[in-house]
Amino acid sequence: MKRFRWVKIGTLIALLFLLGISTGDYHPIPDAQAFAGTGGSTYDQIKVFSQALSIVQRNYVDVPDTREMVRGAIKGMLRTLDPHSSFMDPDMYKEMQIDTTGEFQGVGITIGIRENILTVIAPIDDTPAFRAGILAGDKIIKIKDKPTKDMSLMEAVKLMRGPKGTDVTITIVRKGADKPINFTITRDVIPLISVKTKEVGNDIGYIRITQFQKKTMEEFDKALKKVRKDKKDSFKGLIIDLRNNPGGLLMSAIDIANRFITSGPIVSTKGRLKNQNYSYNAQKKGTEPDYPIVVLVNGGSASASEIVAGALQDDKRAIIMGTTTFGKGSVQTIYRLSDGSGMRVTTAKYYTPSGRSIQNTGIEPDIVVENHTGKSTGHIREKDLAGHLANEQLKGKKKAAEGKDKGAAPQMDLVPDNPKDDEQLMRAVDLLKGLDFFRNNQPPGTQGKSEKTTGQ
C-alpha cells in the first residue's frame, strides 16, 4: 500500500484537474491498533453494519449493487470525520495520479461544498470558466441538467471534465442575480502553469504562484532569475503573490520558503502516529540575498500557501500584506484500496516555525489591506466548513473565534486585472520603494543595522 502527502484544500481540490502527489512508504497498522478507538468495540460496530447490509441485500425491493452500497458507506464514514477526508472511486483515484507536468481537459475551476451546496471557490486564470464569467462564490445547482444536491465533489469533477471542444452547461445561483444563470462552456486543454510574472514597476519584481505543483520550484526559479536579470541594479524588492492560491504539494511549498530562509524550521507536522511527525528545516545553500519581500495573501490563500506565508512571517523574512488567509492547518494522506479506489484521510496538522497552528484562524497579515474593487463575493473559509477540525491552541478563545462570523459569509476581495486598480498590489509596491529609500538614506554607519527590518 502507498501513501501520499497532500496539503491542498481537501474539499477544494476539485480543480477539474488533480495534482500529482508525492509518495512514501506506508507501514500497515496492526489489527489491534487499527480497531482501537472510542465509543465501544469497533468489531461490534462492524457487526451492526454487516447486519444492516445483509438486511438490505435480502429484503430491498430490487437487487441492490453491493459494491455501490459499500462505497456509499465509506463515503458516509469519511464525511463524519472532517471536510477534507473523502472517498475516490477507481476513476477518480487514477485522476489523482496525473503527473503535474502534463495537462488536463475541462473548464478550469476550483469547487467546494458549503452548506451542502456545490460552490465555486475560484475560476483558474485564463481558462474557459474564467473567460465565461464564472465567479468565486457562485453556487452550482445543475451540471448538464443534473441537480447537484447531495452530489460529491468527485462526481462534479467527472461531469465537468471532458474532451477539448465539447460543451458542458452549468447552472449557477449568484448573489444579487434575480434568477439562476446558465453558462454553456466549451472545454479546453488547461495548461498546468503555476508561476506567472508581470510588470508592476521598473524596479520591483512580481511573481505570482497560482498553486503548488511538482514543477513550481523550477518555474519559480526561472521567473526569479528573469526578474533579477531584467531589473539589474535597480532591483528594490520582490512581491510574491499568493492570493487565491488554494495550496498544493507540501514539498513544493517547503522548497519555495527555503529559497528565502537560511536556517531553522520551515514547517512541522504532528499526527496520532509517530510516522506522521516531521520537521522540515531550511538549508542555507541556494538561499536568495536579503532583499525586501512582500507576500500578498487573502481569504483564498490556503494550506501550502499558508505554510509559505507563515514561515516567511515567523522568520521575519517577509512582510505579509492583504487579508486573513483561509485557515487550513491540516495534511491529508492518500490511501489506495484493493479494488483500485482510494481514500483521502486527514492524518496530521501542521505548525509554523514558531509552533503556531493556523487551523480555523489563518495567517493574520502584518499589514491589513483590502481591495475595494466595488465587487465582492461570499468566500468560504475553513471555519465555515461543517465538521472542521478544532484548533487546540485556541482553548478558551475557541468559541469566540469560531462564532465570530456565524451566519455571515466572509468577504473576499476580487483581484483586479489592471495592476493600477489593485490596491493591495500598489500598496506593496509603495512599501518596497519606501523600504529601499530607508535603507539607502540612513546616517553613515547604521546601514548594517537595518537589514532585518526588511522582514518586519
At 36-81, the pLDDT tens digits run 444 558 888 999 999 999 999 999 999 999 999 999 999 999 999 9
Domain that holds residue 384: 195-331+346-390+417-440
150 an active-site residue? no
Kindly state whether residues 374 and 305 are assigned to the same domain.
Answer: yes
Cell numbers at 331, concatenated: 495534511
Kindly state whether residues 114 and 230 are assigned to the same domain.
Answer: no
Kindly state whether residues 167 and 200 are assigned to the same domain.
Answer: no
Cell numbers at 54, concatenated: 445483509
Kindly state whether residues 201 and 180 are assigned to the same domain.
Answer: no
Upper half-sphere CA count for residue 365 (Cβ side, 13 Å): 22
Residue 446 inside a domain? The answer is no
Q: Residues 86, 152, 303, 341: which is the catalytic one? A: 303
Kindly state whether residues 356 and 385 are assigned to the same domain.
Answer: yes
Q: Residues 139, 236, 328, 383: which is the catalytic one? A: 328
Q: Residues 138, 188, 314, 436: which is the catalytic one? A: 314
Residue 96 inside a domain? The answer is no
Write the CATH number for 180: 2.30.42.10
Q: How far lies 164's CA from each of 14, 107, 187, 230, 454, in Å? A: 18, 9, 5, 37, 47
Q: Which amino acid is at 293?
A: I
Residue 8 inside a domain? The answer is no
179 an active-site residue? no
At 289-307, the pLDDT tens digits run 999 999 999 998 999 999 9
b/e map 423-456, b = 16+ CB within 10 Å: ebbbbbbebbbebbeebeeeeeeeeeeeeeebbe
Kindly state whether residues 385 and 301 are assigned to the same domain.
Answer: yes
Percent of the chain whose pLDDT exceeds 90: 57
Which of 107-111, 139-143, 201-205, 402-406 is predicted least confidently?
Answer: 402-406
Residue 386: how many other CB atoms lie within 10 Å? 11
Kindly state whether residues 297 and 318 are assigned to the same domain.
Answer: yes
- Beta-bridge partner residues of 185: 168
Number of domains present in the structure of the chain:
2
Kindly state whether residues 272 and 128 are assigned to the same domain.
Answer: no
- Give the domain-ending residue among 149, 174, 191: 191
Residue 181 inside a domain? The answer is yes
Residue 20 inside a domain? The answer is no
> Could you tell me the pLDDT band of residue 8, with boundaries at 50, 70 and 90?
very low
241 an active-site residue? no
Q: Which residue has the cell 500584506?
A: 321
